[in-house]
Amino acid sequence: MSESGGEALSGPDLGKEGAASSDLRDGGMLLGHFNGEPVLLVRKEAAVHAIGAKCTHYGGPLAEGLFDGSTVHCPWHHACFRPDTGEAVNAPAIDPVACYTVEQRGGRLFVTGTTSKAAAPAPSALVPSSVIIVGGGAAGFAAAEMLRRQGYQQPVTMISSDADGPYDRPNISKDYLAGNAPEEWIPLRPSDWYQKTKVDLVTGRRVVRLELDQRSVELDDGRRLEYGALVLATGAAPIKLDIPGAQLPHVHYLRTLQDSRAIIAHAKQVRRAVVVGASFIGLEVAASLRTRNLEVHVVAPEPIPMQRVLGDELGRFVREVHEQHGVQFHLGQTVTSIAEHSVTLKNGTTLDADLVVIGIGVRPNVELAEQAGLRIDRGVVVDDHLRTSAPNIWAAGDIARWPDRYSGNSIRVEHWVVAELHGQAVARNILGHGQPYAAVPFFWSAHYDVVICYVGSAQEWDTVSVSGSIRDRDCLVAYRKKGKPLAVASINRDADSLRLQVAMERGDVKAVEAILHKQR
């Protein structure tokens, strides 16, 4: 092991000593380093590729991930990279990893230098004359980025009601809110990226109407813009609490970067906070405010936090983790009114609070689609190519309800990676790739040092089984309906979580069971 730039490098120096070719089996990965950078060798049949070993999303160690025969998966948030070009083909990573040249000499593999990425594919002649994207969040940004990455050269306009350009929304309830993430981590791209790539980003403007006959959208400043293809990626909005005092200035919701900044500004001046709702966002806010040393109470109607998504045992564990960090729960309770320095609960209890954050769920922003007569069913209904019921209109992210191959259900989920993957798939399909959307949902949620990963989608289940130990933070928790494992939550089982996702995407229930069974 050697050091470079403060980081330890593992495995052989692939430039000097190389690695024995026999140490790299077909389908295998081998970690080494070259010129002070971690490098991953990947073998597919006779071909050996070398790429940067550190994920470009948040630096996940690719050597601890999975090579499925075509892409290398990051163990942390499941981004995928092509071993031959380094391209980040699946979100949440966007930037490629470095790509290296490899030579075989005397039964050993040597990395000899870096190589440039494959050129963007030539777009087909049948592409739309322009693309308008409504929404500058995960799905909207991913669609714009992928259109340009695929070589699309016609106008791309992204219209966002948010004052800020696309940013890392999951971070605004986690490290950013806790004060541990610098401001420069938050934008998905620096502002000059939009000029360089000729993506016309319009922020602080709302699309108020779709005119399908004219193939145009109307903005809240009266402008009308015509489209060749339209992507609806309007996301979701927090459900508002309708109780006395909910409009007071110390009461916050959290959806945007501006919301997060407002909570931070407030948190710096006060000592006591109440979080209403034990959702993922509510609990992440609780954790971040505890990191800022505020006294935090969480009030929620359910008896166990996140019970509906994670079940009883994992939900109870999440509660314990928060309690160990000083969060005080008031479960089976609702807030009936909010005053300037307190909140009152249904049972009459009064809690001191100078800051209140409400996280009681979101509703998809489907109004535009609804007004335009698109098919709606608790979201915008799309087919397996993410096309809406109207010609040349696609939907992606939190608003889209799509046919999920693995579960066989039509689902709508509110996950960052799913929204990005939708955006990427829509871009490819607008350009004629004709690829059905087959990715199995994935999300992660961070509670202090506990990260829960979740693959699949179990909107309801009849049994929950635990492999390993939740308490020891080393487990797989499977949610089954009629015997079929629909989803698996995990803690510190990154490689298994990846293997489960790949097996689900192949529709291979036996392989899913085998991974779960092996753990018992």
The answer to the question of residue 94 lying near ligand FES (CB under 6 A) is no
Cβ atoms 113, 99 nearer than 8 A: no
Q: What is the Cα–Cα distance from 231 to 423, expressed in whole angstroms?
A: 9
207 binds, among ligand FES, ligand FAD, none (CB under 5 to 8 A by kind): ligand FAD
The answer to the question of residue 451 lying near ligand FES (CB under 6 A) is no
CB of 399 to ligand FAD, least distance (A): 6
DSSP assignment of 229-271, as one string? EEEE---EEEPPP-STTTTSTTEEE-SSHHHHHHHHHHHTT-S
Burial class (CB in 10 A: 0-12, 13-18, 19+), 520: exposed
Residue with Cβ nearer ligand FAD (161 or 388): 161
The answer to the question of residue 253 lying near ligand FAD (CB under 6 A) is no
CB of 517 to ligand FAD, least distance (A): 28
139 binds, among ligand FES, ligand FAD, none (CB under 5 to 8 A by kind): ligand FAD
Q: What is the Cα–Cα distance from 154 to 29, expressed in whole angstroms?
A: 39
| Binding footprint of ligand FAD, residue count (CB under 6 A) | 36
CB of 408 to ligand FAD, least distance (A): 22
DSSP-derived pairing of the beta strands 236-238 and 362-364: antiparallel
148 binds, among ligand FAD, ligand FES, none (CB under 5 to 8 A by kind): none
Which residue among 18, 136, 311, 456 contacts ligand FAD (CB under 6 A)?
A: 136
Q: What is the Cα–Cα distance from 408 to 396, expressed in whole angstroms?
A: 19
The answer to the question of residue 98 lying near ligand FES (CB under 6 A) is no
Q: What is the Cα–Cα distance from 298 to 507, expressed in whole angstroms?
A: 39
Three-state SS at 18: coil
The answer to the question of residue 231 lying near ligand FES (CB under 6 A) is no
* Residues with Cβ within 8 Å of residue 458, at least 6 apart in sequence: 407, 479, 480, 481, 486, 487
Q: Of 165, 167, 235, nearest to 205 (Cα)?
A: 165
Q: How far is CA 493 from CA 242, 477, 488, in A?
A: 41, 11, 11
CB of 132 to ligand FAD, least distance (A): 10
Cβ atoms 394, 374 nearer than 8 A: no
Binding mask 348-367 for ligand FAD (x = CB under 6 A): -----------------x--
Three-state SS at 473: coil
Residue with Cβ nearer ligand FES (406 or 416): 416
Name the closest residue to ligand FAD (Cβ): 137
76 binds, among ligand FES, ligand FAD, none (CB under 5 to 8 A by kind): ligand FES
Q: What is the Cα–Cα distance from 40 to 24, expressed in whole angstroms?
A: 11
415 binds, among ligand FES, ligand FAD, none (CB under 5 to 8 A by kind): ligand FAD
Residue with Cβ nearer ligand FAD (159 or 356): 159
Residue with Cβ nearer ligand FAD (203 or 392): 203
CB of 82 to ligand FAD, least distance (A): 23
Q: What is the Cα–Cα distance from 283 to 278, expressed in whole angstroms?
A: 6
Cβ atoms 33, 20 nearer than 8 A: no
Burial class (CB in 10 A: 0-12, 13-18, 19+), 81: buried
> Residue 416: in which H helix or E strand, if any?
helix 416-430
Residue with Cβ nearer ligand FES (180 or 293): 180
Can you give 268-294 as a three-state secondary structure string?
A: CCCCEEEEECCCHHHHHHHHHHHHCCC
CB of 53 to ligand FES, least distance (A): 11
Which residue among 71, 161, 279, 457 contacts ligand FAD (CB under 6 A)?
A: 161
User: Which tokens hold the place of 429?
Assistant: 């399909």
Residue with Cβ nearer ligand FAD (97 or 386): 386
CB of 400 to ligand FAD, least distance (A): 8
Which residue among 443, 447, 477, 493 contacts ligand FAD (CB under 6 A)?
A: 443
The answer to the question of residue 277 lying near ligand FES (CB under 6 A) is no
The answer to the question of residue 139 lying near ligand FAD (CB under 6 A) is yes
397 binds, among ligand FAD, ligand FES, none (CB under 5 to 8 A by kind): ligand FAD
Give residue for tokens 């990425």.
Answer: 117
Three-state SS at 37: strand
The answer to the question of residue 100 lying near ligand FAD (CB under 6 A) is no
The answer to the question of residue 261 lying near ligand FAD (CB under 6 A) is no
Burial class (CB in 10 A: 0-12, 13-18, 19+), 516: buried
The answer to the question of residue 215 lying near ligand FAD (CB under 6 A) is no
By CB under 6 A, the residues from 38 to 67 that bind ligand FES are 55, 57-60
Cβ atoms 172, 261 nearer than 8 A: no
Residue with Cβ nearer ligand FAD (134 or 156): 134
The answer to the question of residue 444 lying near ligand FAD (CB under 6 A) is yes
Which residue among 416, 430, 468, 490 contacts ligand FAD (CB under 6 A)?
A: 416
Q: Which residues bind ligand FAD (CB under 6 A)?
A: 134-140, 159-162, 169-170, 172-173, 206-207, 233-236, 254-255, 281, 365, 368, 397-398, 414-417, 419, 443-445
Q: Which residues bind ligand FES (CB under 6 A)?
A: 55, 57-60, 74, 76-77, 79, 92-93
